[in-house]
């Protein structure tokens, strides 16, 4: 399971932070800045740096990731660019010269949410905090709001499955992530936050790479959005989640490729429920 998926799973624990804040929708995140550039250092199984450019209060985010991974006497260079907009998510591997694009899963979540009645939206808010605690317990995790200040920003702490993430309060913007799973460890830590205007050039797609659309992934995103909203509006959901058995941890059973893809898609869906900065 990839680094991005692990962070997404951690963020599930922040569900009640975003949903129960009385916002117009669970995806309306109040960032402490309109535009920012965040610099990170990365150490562990990967070593290098990452820079995240944010503009329009988080509606657009561009992440530039450059690291080296050493394993079994071999060194691999990882150079990627991810650009998220309200409509699309682009991922480019600059080392391989390849790229993909997918409809932003939150777009489908918003579409499903907008179909709900006021009573159903209220039911989602009532379920959210109860279910957030149940999900945390099911994954063997915990969440603490305003747990620590990092670079002057109050951060929520979420711990799950060997990973601890500190996000700017009420958002999906990490300032520190530490993980240790199956003998592999990684630390991603912000070293500076510049609230100045992020240059437009960083949000342009890399030249010479045509991103490919995966229709199957798009269909899966639609279905997961539908199922997620249906679960959250069900009055019995919180009760059922509370009685659920512990969820399986990584390493207990190897997921088939299709199951792993579905897990990652599900995590992308759920990210938007607890403060991913890509707003609609």
Give the model's pLDDT for residue 193.
Answer: 98
The predicted-structure confidence for 45-84, as pLDDT tens digits, reads as follows 899 999 999 999 998 999 999 999 877 778 889 999 999 9
| 3-state percent breakdown (helix, strand, coil) of the chain, nearest 5 | 35, 35, 30
**Of residues 97 and 114, more confidently modeled:** 97
Q: Across residues 89-101, what is the average pLDDT?
A: 94
pLDDT interval class at 245 (50, 70, 90): very low
Contacts of 162 (CB under 8 A, 6+ apart): 179, 180, 181
Q: What is the mean pLDDT of the chain?
A: 76
Cα 19–216–89 angle (5° rounding)? 50
List pLDDT tens digits, range 204-237. Answer: 999 999 999 978 878 888 887 888 788 777 767 5
* pLDDT score, position 41: 97
Which has the higher per-residue pLDDT, 257 or 95? 95
pLDDT for 265 equals 46
Give the alpha-carbon dihedral of 201, 203, 204, 208, to 10 degrees: 110
Band (131; pLDDT cuts 50, 70, 90)? low
Task: Give the predicted TM-score (pTM) of the model.
Answer: 0.76
CATH class of the domain whose range is 3-274? mainly beta
Measure Cα distances from 234 to 73, 121, 126 in Å. Answer: 52, 10, 10
pLDDT tens-place string over residues 164-203: 889 998 888 999 999 887 777 889 999 999 999 999 999 9
Are 80 and 90 in contact by the 8 Å Cβ rule? The answer is no
H helix or E strand, kind and range, residue 110 = helix 105-114
The residue count of the chain comes to 280
Asked if residues 66 and 188 have their Cβ atoms less than 8 Å apart, the reply is no
What lies within 8 Å, CB to CB, of 50 at 6+ separation is: 39, 40, 42, 63, 64, 65, 66, 67, 188
| Per-residue pLDDT, 201 | 97
Residue pair 161/181 in contact (Cβ under 8 Å)? The answer is yes
């Amino acid at each position: 399971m990839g680094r991005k998926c692990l962070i997404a799973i951690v963020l599930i624990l922040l569900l009640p932070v975003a949903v129960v804040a009385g916002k117009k929708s669970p995806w309306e995140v109040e960032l402490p800045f309109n535009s920012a550039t965040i610099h990170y250092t990365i150490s562990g199984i990967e070593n290098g740096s990452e820079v995240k450019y944010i503009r329009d209060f988080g509606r657009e985010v561009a992440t530039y990731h450059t690291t080296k991974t050493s394993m079994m006497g071999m060194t691999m260079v990882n150079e990627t660019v991810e650009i998220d907009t309200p409509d699309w998510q682009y991922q480019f591997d600059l080392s391989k010269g390849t790229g993909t694009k997918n409809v932003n899963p939150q777009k489908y979540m918003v579409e499903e949410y907008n179909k709900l009645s006021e009573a159903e939206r209220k039911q989602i808010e009532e379920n959210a905090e109860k279910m957030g605690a149940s999900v945390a317990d099911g994954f063997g995790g915990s969440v603490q709001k305003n747990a620590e200040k990092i670079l002057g920003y109050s951060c929520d702490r979420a711990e799950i499955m060997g990973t601890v993430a500190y996000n700017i309060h009420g958002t999906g913007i990490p300032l520190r992530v530490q993980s240790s799973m199956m003998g592999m460890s990684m630390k991603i830590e912000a070293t500076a936050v510049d609230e100045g205007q992020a240059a437009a050039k960083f949000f342009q797609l890399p030249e010479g790479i045509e991103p490919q659309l995966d229709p199957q992934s798009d269909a899966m995103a639609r279905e997961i959005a539908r199922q997620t909203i249906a679960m959250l509006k069900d009055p019995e959901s919180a009760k059922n989640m509370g009685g659920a058995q512990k969820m399986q941890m990584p390493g207990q059973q190897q997921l088939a490729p299709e199951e792993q893809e579905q897990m990652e898609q599900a995590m992308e869906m759920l990210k938007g429920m607890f403060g991913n900065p890509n707003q609609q």
